[in-house]
Amino acid sequence: MAQADTESRSLARAALSLRCLPFRRRFYDAVAAQALSSEELASQTDSRPPLTFGPLSSERAEDHFLWLIRLGVLRREVDGQGLTERVRLTPMGRQLLRRWPSEIPRAGRRERILEMLRRHLPRL
């Protein structure tokens, strides 16, 4: 029972993060199909339809990738040399995406502020 409760909290926390981050549903579909690096994402500023809600530097994208890796939504791709800079969607990420058949609903301002505090000041 305790593991199910922990798993439920992990999914809820990750679902809120997906709603707060600047990635569109199309981004998660893309990393489900093939690995993508933060530099590749940042260079796709003219892609139609876009993968993000606005322009995103590779550094900022990497920060978001690290957060999603920590939550269990993304993982680093592995090649013959070890871990790469590219990320892929995890089974947990696929499970979360089943909640939203189309675009992921955006979180409100209050939710985004609370998420930012949880992310950057996790002990609060």
What are the pLDDT digits (tens) for 70-85?
999 999 998 888 778 9
32, containing H or E segment: helix 25-33
The domains of the chain are located at: 2-120
DSSP state at residue 21: S
87, containing H or E segment: strand 82-89
- Is the pTM for the entire model greater than 0.85? yes
CATH architecture assigned to 2-120 = Orthogonal Bundle (1.10)
Residues 9-46 have pLDDT tens digits of: 889 999 999 999 999 999 999 999 999 999 999 887 66
- For the cut 70, the answer to whether the pLDDT of residue 124 exceeds it is no
| Burial class of residue 60, CB neighbours in 10 A (0-12, 13-18, 19+) | middle
